[in-house]
């Protein structure tokens, strides 16, 4: 059982903290222009953060208790290739579709 | 393009992500109720935080009876990446009024950030007010789905069987976000470095491995671009 006081303390602080993280640069810097060197690195934020988020989830999925799962690895590869070739929607369809298809065929 | 058109363009460009946001937010509703939260608590967290990964972290740690400040630190660490989004948005929408920027900050989520920044870079002719309208268009679609489907998950709860493997919707979402961003050698290099580093630093506590890996990837991408520019300059001279 989760204690109500603990829950509300955590949720309110997490809400405030998350807002401050999101507001940080946008709020403080506002319309000021950033140096070119900084802009150069900022172009790579998305392309660095997203692989760092998904790689551990693909290689050590929580659903299998952290053991690598060939089905998920192949589904992830299918999503990636479809994304490169056809874009976002097909990446999602190919990824989940491959997962379901292989789970169905192999079960 | 008028601001109104830009808003609807953003709305449509983010539409594919409802495919992901629906199962992901429902999953949060299910997991939170499973952990013993009531519907009001579950919804309050989704509305106050709107950051799926950190909400899952917080609920998991609450369930483990972790001390509040540990749960808070771990969940905030997961959201630190958004400081990088915040910085990356400054050149595009930093001109807006403070109140508007505060609202943009509250609404900042991964999918809308990725779609917006990609569009800004592909279409440098967009004026600053158009960029702001586009940003809100992206968010106007994602947010109601996030709230609504959390509620749906919290209410229907246990009816979704584990065999749907909804957990896998999370990495698939981020793969779908990454693939279209890989437009140049430095972009690919940044992604490779960040992905590999994330695996290498997964042991670092409080999800800080993610931040280390992202910083390494950003550094690698920027350095690769500088290297290619210098080489082109030398061969051109």
Tens digits of residue pLDDT in B34-83: 778 999 999 999 999 998 878 887 887 787 777 788 778 878 877 888 88
Domain definitions of chain B by residue range: 3-167, 182-237
Q: Check whether residue A7 and residue A52 sit in a common domain.
A: no
Dihedral sign, CA of A69, A80, B207, A5?
negative
How far is A90 from B211, CA to CA, in rounded Å?
29
Looking at the fold, whether A25 and A77 belong to one and the same domain comes out as no
Closest CA to B209 of B91, B47, B81: B81
Say if A102 falls within a structural domain: yes
Token pair of B53 as six digits: 């990964």
In which region does residue A66 sit, left (phi positive, over 0), alpha (psi from -120 to 50) or beta (all else)?
Answer: left
What is chain A's length? 107
Using a CB–CB cutoff of 8 Å, tell me whether A75 touches chain B: yes
In this complex, do B176 and A91 lie within 8 Å of one another by their Cβ atoms?
Answer: yes
Q: Do the chains contact at B75 and A14, CB–CB below 8 Å?
A: yes
Length of chain B as a residue count: 237
Q: Is residue A97 part of a domain?
A: yes
Higher-scoring residue by pLDDT: A35, B91: B91
Contact A1 B114 (CB under 8 A): no
Structure tokens at B219: 């550094």
Q: Smallest Cβ distance to B176: which of A24, A26, A83?
A: A83
Please give the pLDDT value at position A61.
86
pLDDT for the residue numbered B80: 81
pLDDT of residue B163: 66
Hey, are the CB atoms on A47 and B71 less than 8 Å from each other? no
Q: In terms of domains, do A26 and A77 share one?
A: no
Same domain for A49 and A28?
no
Instruction: Check if the beta carbon of residue B82 is closer than 8 Å to that of residue B89.
Output: no
Tokens 């499973």 sit on residue:
B34
Neighbours of A104 (CB within 10 A): 9
Residue numbers in chain B where pLDDT is lower than 50: none
The answer to whether A64 contacts chain B (CB < 8 Å) is no
d(CA A44, CA B220): 9
Residue A37 lies in a domain: no
* pLDDT value, residue B162: 65
Contacts of residue B88 in chain A, CB cutoff 8 Å? 42-43, 45-46
What backbone torsions phi and psi does residue A28 show, to the nearest 5 degrees? -80, -40
> pLDDT band at residue A16, thresholds of 50, 70 and 90?
very high
Kindly state whether residues A5 and A48 are assigned to the same domain: no
Beta strands, E only, chain B: none
What's the CA gap between B103 and B106, in Å, rounded?
Answer: 5
Query: CA-CA distance, B205 to A42, in Å (whole number)?
Result: 26
Percent of chain A clearing pLDDT 90 (strictly above): 44
pLDDT at B67 (0 to 100): 79
**Distance of CA B18 to CAs A28, A86, B4, B14, B81, Å?**
31, 18, 21, 8, 22
CB proximity A105 to B under 8 Å: no
Q: Does some domain include residue A38? A: no
**Rounded CA gap, B92 and B120, in Å?**
7
Please check whether residue B204 touches A, CB under 8 A: no
Q: What gap in Å lies between CA B129 and CA B141, rounded to an integer?
A: 19
Mutate to test the interface with B, among A5, A11, A15, A96 (most CBs of B within 10 A): A11
Is A93 part of a structural domain of the chain? Answer: yes
Specify whether A57 is located in the same domain as A102.
yes
CA dist B85 and B113 (Å) reads 7
Is B75:B57 a contact under the CB 8 Å cutoff?
yes
What is the total count of domains within chain A? 2
Residues A92 and A53 in one domain: yes
Tokens coding B52: 């799926």
Model ipTM value = 0.82
Determine, for residues B179 and A83 on separate chains, whether the beta-carbon distance falls below 8 Å.
yes
Distance of CA A44 to the CA centre of its chain: 15
Cα B65 to Cα A1, B44, B45, B51, distances in angstroms: 9, 20, 18, 21
In this structure, the answer to whether residues A21 and A50 fall within a common structural domain is: no
Q: How is residue B158 written in tokens?
A: 């246990």
pLDDT at res. B177: 77
Interface of B with A in 124-153 (CB under 8 A): none
Q: Do B88 and A31 touch (CB under 8 A)?
A: no
Q: Report the percent of chain A where pLDDT is more than 70.
A: 98
Can you tell me the distance from the alpha carbon of B17 to that of B142, in angstroms, rounded to the nearest whole number? 8
Alpha-carbon span B105 to B168, nearest angstrom? 27
Which range of residues forms the domain containing residue A93?
A: 44-106
Q: Are residues A55 and A78 in the same domain?
A: yes
Q: Is B182 on the interface with A (CB under 8 A)?
A: yes
């Amino acid at each position: 059982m989760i204690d109500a006081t603990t829950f509300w303390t955590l949720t309110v602080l997490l809400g405030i903290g998350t807002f401050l993280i999101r507001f940080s640069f946008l709020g403080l810097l506002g319309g000021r222009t950033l140096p070119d060197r900084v802009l150069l690195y900022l172009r790579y934020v998305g392309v660095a953060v997203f692989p760092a988020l998904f790689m551990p989830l693909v290689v050590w999925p929580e659903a299998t208790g952290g053991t690598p799962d060939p089905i998920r690895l192949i589904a992830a590869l299918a999503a990636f290739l479809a994304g490169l070739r056809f874009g976002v929607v097909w990446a999602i369809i190919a990824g989940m579709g491959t997962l379901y298809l292989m789970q169905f065929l192999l079960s | 393009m008028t601001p109104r058109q830009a808003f609807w363009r953003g709305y449509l460009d983010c539409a594919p992500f409802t495919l992901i946001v629906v199962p992901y937010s429902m999953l949060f509703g299910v997991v939170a109720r499973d952990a013993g939260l009531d519907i009001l608590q579950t919804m309050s967290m989704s509305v106050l935080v709107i950051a799926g990964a950190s909400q899952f972290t917080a609920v998991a740690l609450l369930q483990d009876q972790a001390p509040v400040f540990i749960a808070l630190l771990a969940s905030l660490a997961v959201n630190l990446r958004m400081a990088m989004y915040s910085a990356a948005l400054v050149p595009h929408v930093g001109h807006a009024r403070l109140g508007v920027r505060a609202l943009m900050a509250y609404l900042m989520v991964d999918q809308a950030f990725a779609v917006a920044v990609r569009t800004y870079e592909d279409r440098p002719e967009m004026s600053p007010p158009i960029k702001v309208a586009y940003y809100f268009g992206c968010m106007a679609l994602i947010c109601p789905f996030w709230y609504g489907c959390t509620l749906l998950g919290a209410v229907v709860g246990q009816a979704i069987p584990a065999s749907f493997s909804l957990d896998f919707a999370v990495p698939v979402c981020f793969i779908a976000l990454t693939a279209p961003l890989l437009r140049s050698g430095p972009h690919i290099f940044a992604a490779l470095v960040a992905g590999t580093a994330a695996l290498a630093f997964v042991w670092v506590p409080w999800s800080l491995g993610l931040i280390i890996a992202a910083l390494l990837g950003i550094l690698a991408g920027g350095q690769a671009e500088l290297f290619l520019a210098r080489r082109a300059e030398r061969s051109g001279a």
